[in-house]
Structure 1
Amino acid sequence: MLWALPWTLAGLLAGLVLVPLGARPRLARGECALLFARCPWGPGGALTLGNVILATGPDLEARCATYEHRAGRCRHPAVRLGDHERAHVYQYMVLGPLFVPLYLLCGGVSVRNPFERAADRYAMHGRGWWPWARA
């Protein structure tokens, strides 16, 4: 968690800025993160920064399509948003301050990004959160 601290602090700052706009903080032990729920932006989903998850919904129980499913590459069942975001928390805990530069170099928010595909794999199967793990 210390290794991820720079991004965790950025997430904490973002969450605190969003509190007056309706965001509600609480500990999400299952996700190893501080959750800011009801963040007022965009159509839905979540953003993980270190050990902080900024979510638009009231919790992380929402079901969502995987990146590959949305891109029309395959048919996957919907996954629990919290499981997907927990994979990103684990990725941050290993890569620390390197996570965001590597994430952006790998394609950002995109089906091509191995970080997103790994998070979807973890959400579907409970394993495989490392982007370069054998599937």
Structure 2
Amino acid sequence: MRQPSPMPRFVFRLLLLVGALWTLPNTLFGLLLGGVGLMFGAHAHWRRRELALVFHRWPWGPGGAITFGNVILHTGDDLDSPCVTYAHRAGRGEEPSIVLADHERAHVYQYLVLGPLFLPLYLVSGGISVRNRFERAADRYASTGRGWWPWA
């Protein structure tokens, strides 16, 4: 997350720490799922830019990635791979591809702010679909580097 210029560095880091504690229940759920994945061939490493522990080669799901707090479960080998936006996939027009890591980083930011409220709000907003404001915001952030907040 890019630090706003007028904010002192220690305040910014303190806010990140508070956000990580706020979303800790989600992160623990992600760690549990990631730990199960380790027994079936997944491997994990910390991605500083994403502020997340990424479990690569997570063995279940349709492909791609899903974020829980500060944990990203990724079915592939490289989170820096290109992918299409939700709108593109839904046939709502041609859009340039985005980088999966950027999309998932937006979700990490959303979790840091919303904590345990994220999952209920995400599900009420339409779940994994182009209609979901969280997914549209993550695609917007991945495309432009701005606008990860779902109500922006």
Normalised-by-shorter TM-score class: over 0.9
1:108 to 119, 124, 127: 127
**Aligned residues: CA RMSD:** 0.7
Matched, 1:29 2:29: no
SS of equivalent residue, structure 2 residue 45 = strand
Q: TM-score, normalised by structure 1?
A: 0.97
Paired AA for residue 96 in structure 1 = G
SS of equivalent residue, structure 1 residue 31 = coil
**C-alpha separation in 1, matches of 2:145 and 2:70:** 19
Structure 2 runs not aligned, ≥5 long: 1-19
Question: Paired residue for 2:66?
Answer: 47
**C-alpha separation in 1, matches of 2:117 and 2:62:** 28
Cα deviation 1:34-75 (Å, max 9, x = unaligned): 000010123420010000000001121111110000111121
**C-alpha separation in 1, matches of 2:78 and 2:30:** 17
Give the aligned length: 133
Q: TM-score, normalised by structure 2?
A: 0.86
**C-alpha separation in 2, matches of 1:94 and 1:70:** 28
**C-alpha separation in 2, matches of 1:116 and 1:49:** 14
Question: Paired residue for 1:71?
Answer: 90
Question: Paired residue for 2:144?
Answer: 125
Identity %: 67
